[in-house]
A and B are shown apart, each in its own frame.
Chain A
Amino acid sequence: MWAWILHRVTGVGVMIFIVIHILDTWLIGFGPEVYDTVMNIYRHPIFRLGEVALVGALLFHALNGLRVILIDFWPEAGLFQKQRQLFQVVVVLFFILYVPVAGYMIWDIIY
């Protein structure tokens, strides 16, 4: 249940970001002044923290998405007990990967 809620929330969140991100990239067609102005806004620490959150959302969605695909195509993984264990693997992998990445990104904001 939690996995499903988080998968949905992160999926919608990443989609919202992608809409904005395609619009800002599209602006590059208007030349350096316009595009570099927008990139300057993104350098604000608030946006950079949002970026850290975005990376976390996508990482969780990707790892849990892999779990969903595994369960869908490999019946043995579908046993309730196995599903739970796989979710624990997702959570552990998420922290192993995300803690250093988020740490590095925040370090990069501060220094």
Chain B
Amino acid sequence: MARSSYSRQRPMGGGFELFAWYFMRISGLLLVLMALGHIVIMHIINSVEVINYAFVARRWAVPFWRVYDWILLALGVLHGSNGIRVVIDDYVHHRGWRAFCTSALYVLAFVLLVMGTEVLLTFTPGV
């Protein structure tokens, strides 16, 4: 539902909704540094012109970048999917459809986390 307010109000009930509300703000602060840092390095200083298999292999040879990318993956997927959950709650009112959309979202988030983690952990150049 459209809000005249600038953002979602802090949920009063406590529990998961309050936790999610704080999580959006804390992950948002971290994402400012990490997501914008990622954009500056990969999309402005470098670009798809120079990014290829060899580039990623060189980058992921340094453990720091694997850890960085994994934290960015986790924060981005969790922040983004919780945001989508709130959007679904706002627009999908039918109980069945809402349950369907939210479940599909959770499956998607889980699959993305597993795929991202898998490639970050197992990638070995030349295999």
A contact set with B: CB distance below 8 Å: 1, 3-4, 7-8, 11-12, 14-15, 18-19, 22-23, 25-26, 28-29, 31-32, 35-36, 39, 42-43, 47-48, 51, 54-55, 58-59, 62, 65-69, 71-73, 83, 101, 104-105, 108
Which A residues are CB-close (under 8 A) to B81?
15
Q: Which of A26, A42, A51 has the most CB of B within 10 A?
A: A26
Residue of B nearest to A41 (CB): B48
Expressed in whole angstroms, the Cα–Cα distance for A43 and B33 within the complex equals 26
Tell me the bound Cα distance from A96 to B31 in angstroms. 20
Q: Is the interface of A mostly helix, strand, loop or mixed?
A: helix
Contact assessment for B48 and A48 in the assembled complex, using a CB-CB cutoff below 8 Å: yes
Q: Which B residues lie within 8 Å of A108 (CB)?
A: 47, 49
Number of A-B contacts (CB under 8 A): 111
Interface centre among A39, A47, A73 (most CB of B within 10 A): A39
Q: Are A101 and B44 in contact (CB under 8 A)?
A: yes
Interface pair A36/B80, CB less than 8 Å apart = no
Answer whether A15 and B84 are a contact pair too, CB < 8 Å, given A36-B52, A65-B32, A105-B44.
Answer: yes
Q: Is A19 within 8 A of B48, CB to CB?
A: no
Distance to closest chain A CB from B77 (angstroms): 7
